[in-house]
Amino acid sequence: MAKYFCTEAGWRAADDMMQIRGGRGYESWSSLVERDDRPMAVERTQRDARVSRILEGTSEIMQLIHCP
């Protein structure tokens, strides 16, 4: 249950952060530094959050097993 909760909460936080940053959220750290913009690791955070929903057992399967 804890893994499912943390995975989903992390994904929601990363998705919200991407929405707030808009198009700049899709830029890499180095691209933002080159443009003299404040770098934030949004694209990497969202990519890693997405992978964590898949690798250790998909969230859909964990929901079927652990959540009534």
> What's the whole-number mean pLDDT along residues 57-65?
64
Number of Cβ atoms within 10 Å of the Cβ of 10: 17
> What's the whole-number mean pLDDT along residues 52-67?
66
Residues acting as catalytic residues: 56
* pLDDT tens per residue, range 23-56: 777 777 787 788 887 777 787 888 888 877 777 6
The pTM of the full predicted model, rounded to 2 decimals, is 0.63
